[in-house]
Amino acid sequence: MDYKQTVNLPQTAFPMKADLARREPEMLARWYREDRYGQIRKAVAGRPHFTLVDGPPYANAAIHIGHAVNKILKDIIVKSRTLDGHDAPYVPGWDCHGLPIEQQVEKKHGRIGQKLDARAFRQACREYAASQVDGQREDFKRLGVLGDWDRPYLTMLPRYEAEQLRAFANIIRAGHLERGFKPVHWCLDCRSSLAEAEVEYADRTSPAIDVGFPVTVTADLARRLGINPTSAEGAELAIWTTTPWTLPANQAVCLHPEIEYVLIESAPDGHRRRLLVAAALAAAVLARSGLPEGRTLARCTGSALEGLRLHHPFYEREVPVILGDHVTVDSGTGAVHTAPGHGVEDYQVGRAYGLAVDNPVGNDGRYLPGTELFEGQQVFKANEAIVEVLRERGRLLCHLPYQHSYPHCWRHKTPVIFRATPQWFVSMEQAGLRQRALAEIARVHWVPGWGEQRIAGMVEGRPDWCISRQRAWGVPLALFVHRRSGEPHPRSAELLEQVAERVAQHGLEAWFDLDAAELLAEEATEYEKTDDVMDVWLDSGVVHHCLPALRPDAVPFPADVYLEGSDQHRGWFQRSLLASVAGKGVAPYREVVTHGFVVDDKGRKMSKSLGNVIAPQQVVGTLGADVLRLWVAATDYSAEMSVSDEILKRTSESYRRIRNTARFLLGNLHGFDPATDAVPVEELIAIDAWALAQARRLQEEVVAAYRSYDYHLIYQKVHNFCVIDLGAQWLDILKDRLYTTPAAGHPRRSAQTAMYHVLEAMVRWLAPILSFTAEEIWELLPGKRDASVFMSTWWALPMAAADASLDWEAVMALKADVSRELERLRVAGEIGAPLEAAAEVYLDEAQRARLGAIGEELRFVLITSEATLRPAGERPAEAVAATTVAETGAWIVVRPVEDAKCVRCWHRRADVGADDRHPELCSRCVGNLEGPGESRRWA
């Protein structure tokens, strides 16, 4: 007789080989055919909401691994919260306006006015952005990210743009809008501002000059330096600049507070000259100015000179000495000529000191009418005239050509200048925005915790937010500005509402087409429409306002969580906070989670030149999305995330173990229907109840880790559970019972009942991470169920009361000790499989109390053919202490078994052949085959 046919071997359609790269797309096609996202929404309707607001990626170029990490983490959040009993919708978004898209369109169609007018240009931008959205969307879907992909929010949707204007109106109502000036790169040939990305650096020779600014009240200087007033007479503070043309706009001279300065006297030809310069540069300044070595009259740090009054080198006005950390002694004199209208640092330090932003230069690069001495001259040509004036007045110390890297227009290849232009700001102070924002930061939960320090530091130190841009592809600022005063219309907020109405209907062309008279009637002649568009950071910064307005069904305000990379503390997190606090008075999120950047296995950033770039498309196309998702989950994202082929290979191996564990469980659930075959919890065999208890404990940890976003712990714990608790312990022990006892008998049904519960629980633990694999398991699990695992919640694992008379921890420890002894027999060539051995275990009273109850069934746990428990006193000399169980009190002897092998259960038993009808079987198998079958209590 072929007894193999009488053994219940595993059977399942769940393949061992995942073949994810091929099969995931098939599963995806089905999910979208069946509208899986919509089905889930219906199934979970009515549950408490959990809102993750998607930070919109920029709609340009294919996604890289950082995008994949970001979207997968969001997907894990959304799915785990769904399993946790929430209705957690996911509405993805894209950031669609801005310069990079303009540049792409320029490459193809040229600049506005060449082939396309502004309207057609914007249309081309819109089409380009839409095509990029389509490409990225397919890649995101392929990652298994489930969301409302058919109805994403795009910042270029007319309704979004309209809501953005309304959000802007709220900011104006709250009093945060401020008009001001700011220096920007300005091309004299374009006659317009340039973005940072439109500037390229090239070598250029400029006139480098050292100029003396006479101290007006030398007695004040003497007092500060603690010297005789006569010694300070005629003192000049020396500055160095390569842009003489900015001197007419000079408002101050800036020193570093901690650098040491000296007053030095030099007397060429008996003509005394006293200069104030950085000590470290004094010699160099004298040398290039052709002055003989001097004598030091006094020294002090820059901070001692703050507020000292100086005379402008050629205008009849005074300028102060100020302090700034940007000053260095790398070159020059250690004193920086400061013209807030012509430099970003000058502008920033100037704001701190309340300096005027003087801008005497017109958009053609010529000094404006009324500019003393140089009116009408082009700035670069005026350099010579200025040097000449300085020479005449005796203020020029040195004049040399100087070659340096200088910004040029990328189109004209001509040098650009910094020029102050009128801009619009969200003021940090005007209506208390900074203070309010800081208070809100303290109320938000930051993950990891140091994120709070990081963003608070940025908000504390940041300047006003410049929200205007002189660009074509963006949402118009839509203000009416008074022709003379430059102030916005007093009813701006109300007017914006009317503009928003039109934009919602007709798109943002409605603003460009608008005749001011339509809204302003007779006032129209006094106002003009702004040409500016909004900073794209404002586009995405008001998602908190626009998305709930667009999708009231899905996205309440405020959001539960925002999740982005750590660069977004300055970027989206900060802009969203400022925009929300400015418009609504509160933070837009309760919790903010940050992930690190992806680096290679040596911790270096990914770059083409290093050749260490891992493309998500490539990973998904070979190993599969679930392996990529497992890598994301397994990596501690709070710091940098390392990835390499080696790391992905390891991840893939771990995946196989988890998959195979599920496969084994499914295979042994063959023929099990939980509705009719489940054993009542209180009747479960002890080790099955123990396994359930292990699973329960793990589930508590898994759920807690999902709630605290500690996914890498979940991976570790679940993987360990598969390997140790299940693989090495429970499932290995279970095989004999599953295979050899009657298919429908209590021992096997008990095992199946527990396995069923474990797999029901496990498929849910895995689902947020291994979504494809989980759904695959879900479909093959016995029992009636919904279409998707994501329609369910964490599995209620039954609580089986543990029998206190047996200590399972001790049993498993004993098993480990016995394994070590069996290994010695194996190495000695005395046995192969453990079933070729017998174990004798000697226990003292204490250990007997922990282990004794298991009795005869110990052999099933040890997977030996025999196992006996005896008193410690009877142990032979060769017995080995079982140190894992206890330091003393347990000893082991193992030996090969000589009995015949039962061909059915493979145990070596003395009773093989006892039944004439089955000469090759042991009595246990005969009973299982023909009788009611054996009964088990412990294992």
Binders of RNA in range 250-279 (CB under 7 A): none
Cα–Cα distance for residue pair 204/96, rounded to 1 Å: 37
The distance of closest approach from Cβ of residue 78 to RNA in the complex, given in angstroms and rounded to an integer, is 21
Which residue, 549 or 833, has its beta carbon nearer to RNA? 833
Residues of span 573-632 touching RNA by CB under 7 A: 596-597, 599, 601, 603-605
The distance of closest approach from Cβ of residue 880 to RNA in the complex, given in angstroms and rounded to an integer, is 12
Binding mask 10-39 vs RNA (x if CB under 7 A, - otherwise)? x-----xx----------------------
- Token digits of residue 428: 């940090």
Which residue, 398 or 734, has its beta carbon nearer to RNA? 734
Q: Which stretch binds RNA (CB under 7 A): 550-558, 644-652, 848-856, 891-899?
A: 644-652
Residues of span 833-852 touching RNA by CB under 7 A: 833-834
Task: Name which position in 719, 870, 895, 937 contacts RNA (CB under 7 A).
Answer: 719
CB 105 within 8 A of CB 125: yes
Residues of span 739-758 touching RNA by CB under 7 A: 739-740
Q: What angle do CA 288, 289, 294 make, to 5 degrees?
A: 100
**351 binds RNA per the rule CB under 7 A:** no
**420 binds RNA per the rule CB under 7 A:** no
**359 binds RNA per the rule CB under 7 A:** no
**Using CA atoms in the order 757, 761, 767, 768, what is the torsion angle rounded to 10 degrees?**
170
Cα–Cα distance for residue pair 742/927, rounded to 1 Å: 9
**380 binds RNA per the rule CB under 7 A:** no
Which residue, 192 or 660, has its beta carbon nearer to RNA? 660
Length of the chain measured in residues:
939
The distance of closest approach from Cβ of residue 647 to RNA in the complex, given in angstroms and rounded to an integer, is 5
Task: Name which position in 526, 732, 830, 920 contacts RNA (CB under 7 A).
Answer: 732
The distance of closest approach from Cβ of residue 818 to RNA in the complex, given in angstroms and rounded to an integer, is 8
Radius of gyration of the chain (CA): 39
Q: Single out the residue of 827, 844, 831 nearest to residue 882, CA to CA.
A: 844
Task: Name which position in 131, 230, 435, 453 contacts RNA (CB under 7 A).
Answer: 453
CB 586 within 8 A of CB 558: yes
**911 binds RNA per the rule CB under 7 A:** no
The distance of closest approach from Cβ of residue 657 to RNA in the complex, given in angstroms and rounded to an integer, is 5
- Token digits of residue 737: 């019972």
**822 binds RNA per the rule CB under 7 A:** yes
Which residue, 82 or 694, has its beta carbon nearer to RNA? 694
The distance of closest approach from Cβ of residue 452 to RNA in the complex, given in angstroms and rounded to an integer, is 8
Q: Which stretch binds RNA (CB under 7 A): 73-81, 411-419, 563-571, 684-692?
A: 563-571
**459 binds RNA per the rule CB under 7 A:** no
Which residue, 381 or 650, has its beta carbon nearer to RNA? 650
Q: Is the dihedral of CA 202, 208, 214, 215 positive or negative?
A: positive
- Token digits of residue 379: 């700035």
**4 binds RNA per the rule CB under 7 A:** yes
CB 447 within 8 A of CB 592: yes
Distance between the two ends of the chain, CA-based, in angstroms?
29
Task: Name which position in 279, 524, 723, 787 contacts RNA (CB under 7 A).
Answer: 723
**1 binds RNA per the rule CB under 7 A:** no
Cα–Cα distance for residue pair 939/922, rounded to 1 Å: 19
Task: Name which position in 109, 735, 870, 895 contacts RNA (CB under 7 A).
Answer: 735
Q: Single out the residue of 56, 42, 10, 31 nearest to residue 576, CA to CA.
A: 56
Residues of span 301-330 touching RNA by CB under 7 A: 325-326
Dmax (CA) for the chain in angstroms is 133
**640 binds RNA per the rule CB under 7 A:** yes
Alpha helix (H) ranges present in 354-432? 379-392
CB 236 within 8 A of CB 274: yes
Binding mask 158-197 vs RNA (x if CB under 7 A, - otherwise)? ----------------------------------------
Q: Which stretch binds RNA (CB under 7 A): 107-115, 403-411, 828-836, 889-897?
A: 828-836
Local structure of 337: helix, strand or coil: strand
Task: Name which position in 242, 246, 250, 642 contacts RNA (CB under 7 A).
Answer: 642
Cα–Cα distance for residue pair 441/428, rounded to 1 Å: 15
- Token digits of residue 359: 């801008």
Which residue, 47 or 570, has its beta carbon nearer to RNA? 570
Local structure of 84: helix, strand or coil: coil
**284 binds RNA per the rule CB under 7 A:** no
The distance of closest approach from Cβ of residue 177 to RNA in the complex, given in angstroms and rounded to an integer, is 23
* DSSP H/E element including 185: strand 177-187
**466 binds RNA per the rule CB under 7 A:** no
* DSSP H/E element including 871: strand 866-871
Q: How many residues touch RNA (CB under 7 A)?
A: 83
Q: Which stretch binds RNA (CB under 7 A): 134-142, 144-152, 729-737, 780-788?
A: 729-737
Which residue, 122 or 185, has its beta carbon nearer to RNA? 185
The distance of closest approach from Cβ of residue 832 to RNA in the complex, given in angstroms and rounded to an integer, is 2
Q: Which stretch binds RNA (CB under 7 A): 420-428, 536-544, 660-668, 768-776?
A: 660-668
**64 binds RNA per the rule CB under 7 A:** no
Which residue, 499 or 902, has its beta carbon nearer to RNA? 902
Binding mask 698-717 vs RNA (x if CB under 7 A, - otherwise)? ------------x-xx-xx-
Quickly tell me which residue has 């083409």 as its tokens.
608
Q: Single out the residue of 127, 413, 374, 85 nearest to residue 245, CA to CA.
A: 374
The distance of closest approach from Cβ of residue 664 to RNA in the complex, given in angstroms and rounded to an integer, is 3
Taking CA atoms, 152 is separated from 54, 148, 810, in Å, by 10, 6, 56
**816 binds RNA per the rule CB under 7 A:** yes
**540 binds RNA per the rule CB under 7 A:** no
Phi, psi of 181 (to 5 degrees): -125, 155
Mode of pairing for the β-strands spanning 252-255 and 318-323: parallel
**737 binds RNA per the rule CB under 7 A:** no
276 forms bridges with which residues in the sheet? 237, 263
Cα–Cα distance for residue pair 160/405, rounded to 1 Å: 42
Q: Single out the residue of 142, 43, 113 nearest to residue 85, CA to CA.
A: 43
The distance of closest approach from Cβ of residue 403 to RNA in the complex, given in angstroms and rounded to an integer, is 22
Which residue, 449 or 873, has its beta carbon nearer to RNA? 449
b/e map 526-561, b = 16+ CB within 10 Å: ebebbebbbbbbbbbbbbbbbbbbbeeebbebbbbb
- Token digits of residue 7: 């053994």
Cα–Cα distance for residue pair 502/489, rounded to 1 Å: 19
Which residue, 723 or 802, has its beta carbon nearer to RNA? 723
Three-state SS string over 644-684 comes to CHHHHHHHHHHHHHHHHHHHHHHHHCCCCCHHHHCCCHHHC
